[in-house]
Amino acid sequence: MSVNPISSHSSADKAATGNRHFSAGAFLRDYGVLIIIVLLMFALTLLSPSFLSLRNLLNILNQSAPLALMASALTLVIIAGGFDLSTGAIFGVASVSAAWLAVTVDPYLGMVAGPLIGLVLGVVNGLVITAFNVHSFLATLASSLVYRGIAVLITGGALIPVRMEEFAWLGRGRVGPVNIAVLVLFVFVIVMMVLLNRTTFGRRVIAVGGNEEAAILSGVRTYLVKIATFGLSGFAAGLAGIIAVSRISMGQPQAGAGMELEAIAAVILGGTSIYGGAGAVWRSIAGVLLLALIGNGFNILNVNPFFKDLTTGLIIVVAVALSAGKKRR
C-alpha cells in the first residue's frame, strides 16, 4: 500500500500547527494577565511619572488586600466547580459583628470573631449546596440576601464606630513601609497556594471540578471538598471584613456590596476556568492587581469612570472567551 508523501507531510504540518495554536492559547491563558499588567504599568509610567513611585505601588497593594484575600480563596471554590455570590454579604456580616464585639465586649475578640463568623457562614453555604443538591449559584445568591439582612439586624441599619487603637493596627499599622494588611495577604496567599498545589486536598479540589463523577468513583468525598472550599471562602471574606473595619474604624451593614462580583472577575481574569478543574491562586491575585491598576491609572489620569468600566468589561470578556475556547478543545 503506497502512501502519498505530500499527504503525510500535510497531515504532520496540520498537527504541528494545531499543537502550536494550543500552546499559544495555553500560554495566553496562563500568563496573559501578567503580560497585560506589564504593558499597563509601562503605559501608565509614561503617562504619569508618579505612578511608579514606591508609595503609589504599596498603596495599590494595601487597597487591594481585602479583595485579594477573597479572590484567593474563591479560586478554590471555582476550581471545584462552584460559585460563591455571598462573599460580599459575609464580608458585611463579619465586619459589623467584629465592630459590635469590639465596642461592647473586647476589641481582640472582635478581630478573632470576624473570620470565624465568615467560616461558619461559608460552611453553611456548603452544607445547603451539598445536602439539598442546590446549584451553588442559586444557593449563594439566596444566602447573600439572608446574610445581608443579618448585617442590618445586628446594626439596626446604623453605623458602628470603632475608635480603638487595639483594633486599628490591623488595617492601619505598618512594618516599615509595608502595611500589616499586605503582610497578612502575603501569608494567606502562600497558604492557599500550598493547600491547592501541595496537598491531597488540593488535588481533590481539582478532581471534583474536573470530573465530579470520576472523583466519586475514585472514593473522593466530594461533599466534604465542596463544604471545605466554601468554608475557606467565608473565612477569607471575614478576614477581609475585619481589615476593612480596622482601616476605616467603622462597621457598616452595606459593607462589601458588589465585592463578590469583583472577586469573581479577578479570578476569571487570572485564567481560572469557569467550568472548574483548572486554575491558580497566584493568577487570581494578578487579576486583582490588574483591576486595581486599571482603577488607579484612570484615577491618576482623571479619565471618565465609564471608560474604566468599559475597559474592565472588555478584558473580562476576552478572559472568558479564552476559557470557553479551552473547554471546546
> Which residues lie across from 160 on neighbouring strands?
251
User: pTM score, two decimals?
Assistant: 0.88
Q: Which residue has the cell 449559584?
A: 137
Q: 65 with 184: CB under 8 angstroms?
A: yes
Distances (CA, A) of 214 to 130, 181, 218, 225, 279: 17, 40, 6, 14, 19
Q: Which long-range contacts (CB under 8 A, 24 or more apart) does 254-257 make?
A: 254/92, 254/148, 254/151, 255/91, 255/92, 255/95, 255/96, 255/151, 256/87, 256/88, 256/89, 256/90, 256/91, 256/92, 256/95, 257/88, 257/92, 257/148
Using 50, 70 and 90 to split pLDDT, how confident is the model at 303? confident
**Residue 276 is inside which H or E element, if any?**
none
Q: How far apart are CA 309 and CA 301, in angstroms?
A: 15
Has residue 15 got a pLDDT over 90? no
Structure confidence at residue 185 as a pLDDT band (50, 70, 90) = very high
Q: Which residue has the cell 487595639?
A: 166
Note the pLDDT tens digit of each residue in 267-292. Answer: 998 889 888 898 999 999 999 999 99
* CA pair distance 146, 33, nearest whole angstrom: 35
The Cα diameter of the chain in Å comes to 89
| Helix, strand, or coil (residue 270) | coil
Which residue reads 467603622 in cell numbers?
250
C-alpha cell at 179: 502595611
pLDDT of the residue at 21: 47
Domains and CATH numbers, the chain: 36-43+50-328 (1.10.3470)
Q: Give every CB contact of residue 214 below 8 A, 6+ residues apart in sequence.
A: 207
| Alpha-helical regions (H) of the chain | 5-47, 54-79, 87-104, 107-131, 136-155, 165-172, 180-197, 200-210, 212-217, 222-248, 259-269, 281-301, 305-328
pLDDT, average across residues 219-223: 95
Are 212 and 226 in contact by the 8 Å Cβ rule? The answer is no
- The residue among 123, 286, 279 whose CA lies nearest residue 202 is 279
Dihedral of the alpha carbons of 8, 11, 15, 18, in degrees to the nearest 10: 160
Q: Which range among 63-77, 111-125, 130-144, 288-302 shows the weakest confidence by mean pLDDT?
A: 288-302
Query: Please, what is the Cα angle at 104 between 152 and 112, to 5 degrees?
Result: 80
Q: What integer pLDDT is reported at residue 100 of this predicted model? A: 95
